[in-house]
Structure 1
Amino acid sequence: MTQRTRISAAVALAAALASGAAFAAAPLAKSQSPGFYRTTLGDFEVTVLNDGTNEMPMDKLLHNKPGKTEKAYAEHFVKLPYEMSFNGFLINTGSKLVLVDTGAGGLFGPNLGKLVNNLRAAGYQPEQIDEIYITHLHPDHVGGLGALNKPAFPNAVVRVDKRDADYWLSKQEQEKAPADAKGFFQGAMDSVAAYASAGKFKPFEGSTQLVPGVRASSSYGHTPGHTTYVVESKGQKLVLMGDLLHSAEVQFEDPTVTIAFDTDNKAALAQRQAAFAEAAKQGYLFGAAHLPFPALGHIRAHGKGYEFYPVTYSIPR
């Protein structure tokens, strides 16, 4: 190739690039990587499984002074409606695979129901799950169990506090409930039906050890049988707080803010205050279903409230 030919070729290529004829524009992906995050706790491995995110009108749901909710979100550069995370937690103890909460399945709109696919992406199959512990029977925590005679986790035993089961699985309570709450009862009934018929739905009563390293701790208030789960291995501790927290941006700074979904606002507030105080004092790791993914971190007391320190990305070794 002569010098003149090389120059001509370069000029032609430059013209083609300038005109956009050489390469088509890359399309927008409009997708995210699989929603799982893995970490270790002593001898255990914990995998956070995201079920999706959903826009929530938190300025209407949170019981706060006028304007304070909007101000808190603005200070955190968060727009309303609030894009809330929905998460479950898989604990591999070495002898058991324990899943805490299952996400919404099809009970909370089209943006959720991704937990099972993210479980597979994390290297597990639904058939491998041994135990499922439900913090409470609201649809976004129990819907992922499956529907009627189609269990999503066919080999798992499902456990929840008896107080929650007695309330949400009661036809009498459903009949007494407001019209807009009746679906919560039906969702819970349909989700546990297959496990109950197979003898794999086994409520427990109050705080109790469930498997070595994982115990239930009663935190009644958000629902009649709301439960937190405490995971411990080799002196390390993780507390999974369920729905004691719905908004990191608002409720860490002011734990007295409650939410419309609470069955008993006063009791839920007291449980949150006690849980935050203990987590700050002891410094252990904690997680919550609606913390921004990966939904793990620590808190430290700050004035009348708390500051949240989310986990930093790390690769288990």
Structure 2
Amino acid sequence: MTASLAGRSRSADGVSTVGVGEFQVSILLDGCISGSFGLIDGIDADDARRQELAAGRPEPPVISVNAFLIQRGGRSILVDAGCGDSYGPNLGRIDGHLATLGVTPEAIDAVLLTHLHGDHANGLFTEAGTRRFPNATLVMHEAEPAFWRDDALVAAAPPRAVGAVKTARNVLDLYRGQLHLARGGEVSPGISMLPEPGHTPGHCGWLLTSGREQLLIWGDIVHLPGIQFARPEAGMVFDVDRDSAEATRRRIFDLAAADRLAVAGMHLDFPAFGHVERLTGRSGAAAYGFGID
């Protein structure tokens, strides 16, 4: 099923809204992180740098951090919560964007988590350590808390992949009575969980379907658009299982390209809504392009 995104409105402060059938979906730009080619795994840093510069992108690479607000029928649902107060003054803008849209933290009914890394989950708690969204149900894949709570699994993961242990456990403790865990499928009318393991064991995307329109909010399939579309074998040092993350990335790229499925991502450039195109890369290998709508 294909999807078209309609009715876009955009403001200069990092909010852009599209219609997906009966849903209104707003991207909330939390800010940008200055990255490093040393964060890339699967291709060497010099190769990554050449790819980034060939794509006309900056050095050092800039990584956008996004969250999404879904509204329909009086309900307000967040997909991820951004960095909160923990990543410095250039991030943590979600609260302000929600206020601009007239949505208070108390009005958030649910937060759908792609995974528990800090740039997605630290916004769930305030600087004082309280729940930022006190009335929200926190929805995630069941493999996510199972991993972060298991000392043996964490110890066996790559060292750079486990920096979020404190964040993950803080979130799970703080929202203990408000968790909903799933393995996939529909979690709310028109909103389905799509398992995307590899970046973390419980990493997932969220597929919105309304009538003939769909949008996949795919989480961290891509961190560096200038590199990973052209070189899908390029992973990140934060991947718990790099091979699985690569296989998932290729599967999601192929799905999005074949179905002309509209996608959005937490680290795609604002306004982040677009489509994937399958191309032919080096030595005939599959590569992909991405066009922002």
TM exceeding 0.5: yes
Tell me: CA distance 1:244–1:182, structure 2 relative to 1, closer, same or farther (3 Å).
Answer: closer
1:245 to 214, 222, 225: 222
Which amino acid counterpart does residue 50 of structure 2 have in structure 1? K
Distance 1:137 1:95 in 2: 27
Name the residue aligned to 1:158. Answer: 138
Which amino acid counterpart does residue 154 of structure 1 have in structure 2? P
2:36 to 36, 57, 68: 57
- Indicate yes or no: 2:207 matched with 1:230: yes
2:197 to 201, 213, 220: 220
Tell me: CA distance 1:300–1:179, structure 2 relative to 1, closer, same or farther (3 Å).
Answer: closer
- Indicate yes or no: 2:70 matched with 1:91: yes
Tell me: CA distance 1:183–1:69, structure 2 relative to 1, closer, same or farther (3 Å).
Answer: closer
Tell me: CA distance 1:139–1:269, structure 2 relative to 1, closer, same or farther (3 Å).
Answer: same
List aligned pairs for 1:30-69, cutoff 5 A: 33-65=12-44, 67-69=46-48
Displacement of 1:299 in angstroms is 1.3
Q: Which runs of 5+ in 2 are unaligned?
A: 1-10, 281-285
Displacement of 1:170 in angstroms is 3.9
Tell me: CA distance 1:44–1:186, structure 2 relative to 1, closer, same or farther (3 Å).
Answer: same
Which amino acid counterpart does residue 252 of structure 2 have in structure 1? A
List aligned pairs for 1:1-317, cutoff 5 A: 33-65=12-44, 67-147=46-126, 149-170=129-150, 173=153, 183-196=163-176, 199-204=177-182, 206-303=183-280, 304-311=286-293
Q: In angstroms, what is the RMSD of aligned CA positions?
A: 2.1
Q: Percent identity?
A: 30
Displacement of 1:169 in angstroms is 3.3
Tell me: CA distance 1:273–1:181, structure 2 relative to 1, closer, same or farther (3 Å).
Answer: closer
Distance 1:264 1:178 in 2: 8
Number of matched residues?
Answer: 277
1:63-116 alpha-carbon deviations (Å, 9 max, x no partner): 314532111221222222211100011111224211111111133344221111
Q: Which secondary structure state, in structure 2, belongs to the residue aligned with residue 202 of structure 1?
A: strand
Distance 2:199 2:112 in 1: 17
Distance 1:270 1:181 in 2: 18
Q: Which secondary structure state, in structure 1, belongs to the residue aligned with residue 146 of structure 2?
A: helix
Contact 2:67 2:82 (8 Å CA) reproduced: yes
Q: Taking structure 1 as the reference length, what is the TM-score of the superposition?
A: 0.81
Contact 2:77 2:112 (8 Å CA) reproduced: yes
Contact 2:160 2:237 (8 Å CA) reproduced: no
Q: Which secondary structure state, in structure 2, belongs to the residue aligned with residue 153 of structure 1?
A: coil
Which amino acid counterpart does residue 194 of structure 2 have in structure 1? S
Contact 1:36 1:119 (8 Å CA) reproduced: no
Which amino acid counterpart does residue 258 of structure 1 have in structure 2? G
Tell me: higher relative CO, structure 1 or 2? Use CA pairs within 8 A at least 6 residues apart.
2
Distance 2:204 2:88 in 1: 25
Q: Taking structure 2 as the reference length, what is the TM-score of the superposition?
A: 0.88
Displacement of 1:123 in angstroms is 2.5
Distance 2:69 2:191 in 1: 12
Q: Which runs of 5+ in 1 are unaligned?
A: 1-31, 312-317
Tell me: CA distance 1:207–1:180, structure 2 relative to 1, closer, same or farther (3 Å).
Answer: closer
Which amino acid counterpart does residue 185 of structure 1 have in structure 2? V
Contact 2:131 2:175 (8 Å CA) reproduced: yes
